A and B are shown apart, each in its own frame.
Chain A
Amino acid sequence: MEIKELVPQKLKQQFNETDFEISEYLDELTIKLPKEKIVKVCEFLKKDSELEFLLCQDITAIDWATRKNRFTVVYHIYSFKNNFRLRLKADVDESDCRIDTVSSVWKGANWQERETYDMYGIKFNNHPDLRRMYMPEDFEYHPLRKDFPLMGIPESIPLPKK
């Protein structure tokens, strides 16, 4: 069976079938899932002997600005065994801007999640070291949110003391 059919099928066997929204665009498979399940699904995808998604390539988020679920956290994971890249998505609403961390599954997710937190303000539950990645620690805003102006906010970063 081709890997593109195998992954959704396995997930549907293991978890509740209605949880997953599967789509394909330009030969890239995307699976959308509820955010509560993200750690369990990732663990399954990594540990399953037929899938073995060992490499977490990228974690980021999208700010949809006007949508009900404002943010979508996006994961790109890769399986050496099947030479296949999978995209996982989970919606996060602004009122409850949290999602569980997957850094327990892939260590490399640690900094990717810190960056996402820094840029979008999405908090990762149980993250071992959730600090800002690029911006100063006392910076109040999250720059990649769509309501942050391109020119920045004057005096939001204090000048160094003499």
Chain B
Amino acid sequence: MNGDLKDVHPKIIQALLDADSNITVEDALENEMVLNMGPQHPATHGVLRLVLRLDGETIVACVPELGYLHRGYEKLAENMTYYEYIPHTDRLDYISPMANNVAWVLAVEKLAGIEAPPRAQYIRMMIAELARITSHLVAVGSFAMDVGAMTVFLWTLREREKVMDIWDILCGARFTNSYTRIGGVANDVPPEAFAGIRLFIDEFDANLTECEKLINTNRIFVERVDGVGVISKEEAIDLGFSGPNIRASGVEYDIRRAQPYLDYDQVDFKIPVYTEGDCLARYFVRVDEMRESANIVRQVLEKMPEGETILNKPKKVLPHKTEVYTKMEELIHDFMIVNFGINPPVGEIYHSIEGSKGELGFYLVSKGEGHPWKCKIRSPSFNNIQSLPKLVVGQMVSDVVAIVGSIDPIMGEADK
């Protein structure tokens, strides 16, 4: 075994040598080597580091190394109030921050025993689905780019840019939105944002078809991903897959359907399921899901109820700033919530939503204080990356890039 090993920790090398490597290579070349891929690599979608053991070009074993983006968000959560943590959820899955905001406030609301008014719930559904569309656009675009189809990436990012502009009108920020609040959303949706969303949804189907045509008929793309990185239904469940990845392996599991939150039981949508479990199936699931999300947004716009967008519950929900400056009572509540928090009752909850990468859950333990005693983020990418050694063993080096792209990991949430 050769290769430059002085930067690789001995324990990683040991894990690599101990890994199950029961593949058979015809005419073994007996020139095994260790290849370090990442953390700085354009195709690893962030700071994912893979240490690969190769025989010729065939991968014998793979050990993923995480932690290059570890910022200790669980520790931070234990030291700040529930309100203060909302902006930090943006930085978990930074491709779809809106979905993370929704997941966090839903968990806190469940713990505090409050529920946002219907209009706020529908707005949350709308932004969560738009976030899914943006996330899948990036996933599909960068996946295609990883295997060499450059144009698709530009076209899907063009579509995503339109949603970014809508975010800008909606809450004043393009990337790190922090739009939801405990008990509602920060502000009602302005009419321009509604108009922008309608326009985007109306054009979306045609634009997506255009992008699809570029790759579905591209023989190079299809042959590079078809039948690569196959994972069976049983293994996918065993490894804790969720989201589009598990649905590409033939498991019809979607939290929006299994345990409906918000008002997902009021809208009509299909769950795309493929049974092949390879990279191509994961790509197809994402494209189909975007169509379904657009469909949900359309229904939400039709059904959008009128009314308040934030709950009137002074002990738990921050009052609006104009009221804080003019009314004594609101000023007191504002002071108490900002300084001491909303103090949910003693207890523990686990709440998860169908995020764009999979099941995004928060496990919160409250001791009746303003800060959570414990906050665990169940991030989908973390579990999805765990399957990489299983997926890449036996494949070629160049397939690793395609497989990582098809899993769609976001290191912000995998590393927390």
By a beta-carbon cutoff of 8 Å, the part of chain A in contact with chain B is 25-26, 28, 30, 54-58, 60, 62-63, 74, 76, 80, 83, 85, 87, 106-112, 115, 119, 128-129, 131-137, 143-144, 148, 150
Interface status of B183 (Cβ within 8 A of chain A): no
Q: Name the contact of B386 in the complex, choosing from A26, A54, A83, A110 (C-beta under 8 A).
A: A110
A57/B15 in contact, CB under 8 A: no
Interface stretch (choices B149-157, B188-196, B236-244):
B236-244
Interface status of B72 (Cβ within 8 A of chain A): yes
A76/B374 in contact, CB under 8 A: no
Tally of contact residues, B, Cβ under 8 A: 44
A144/B75 in contact, CB under 8 A: yes
Closest to A160 in B: B7
A87/B350 in contact, CB under 8 A: yes
A134/B67 in contact, CB under 8 A: yes
Closest to A148 in B: B75
B252 to chain A, nearest CB (A): 9
A-B contact count (CB 8 A): 96
B349/A60 in contact, CB under 8 A: no
Interface status of B104 (Cβ within 8 A of chain A): no
A57/B237 in contact, CB under 8 A: no
Q: List 12 A-B contacts (CB under 8 A).
A: A26-B347, A28-B350, A55-B237, A55-B240, A56-B240, A58-B361, A58-B376, A60-B374, A76-B363, A107-B239, A137-B11, A144-B78
A144 to B377, CA, bound (A): 13
A83/B258 in contact, CB under 8 A: yes
A107/B350 in contact, CB under 8 A: no
A102 to B352, CA, bound (A): 22
A129 to B18, CA, bound (A): 9
Q: Name the contact of A25 in the complex, choosing from B67, B240, B347 (C-beta under 8 A).
A: B347
Interface status of B392 (Cβ within 8 A of chain A): no
- With A57-B240, A87-B350, A150-B79 as given contacts, are A111 and B67 in contact (CB-CB < 8 Å)? no
Inside 8 A of A148's CB, which chain B residues have their CB?
Answer: 75
B412 to chain A, nearest CB (A): 13
A112 to B376, CA, bound (A): 11
Inside 8 A of A115's CB, which chain B residues have their CB?
Answer: 382
Residues from 15 to 70 in B contacting A, C-beta threshold 8 Å: 15, 18, 66-67, 70
B386/A57 in contact, CB under 8 A: no
Interface status of B74 (Cβ within 8 A of chain A): yes
A2 to B9, CA, bound (A): 51
A120 to B240, CA, bound (A): 22
Interface status of B90 (Cβ within 8 A of chain A): no
A88 to chain B, nearest CB (A): 12
Of B239, B258, B415, which is in contact with the most chain A CB atoms at under 10 Å from its CB?
A: B239
Interface status of B212 (Cβ within 8 A of chain A): no
A108/B386 in contact, CB under 8 A: yes
A67 to chain B, nearest CB (A): 12
Interface status of B165 (Cβ within 8 A of chain A): no
Interface status of B261 (Cβ within 8 A of chain A): no
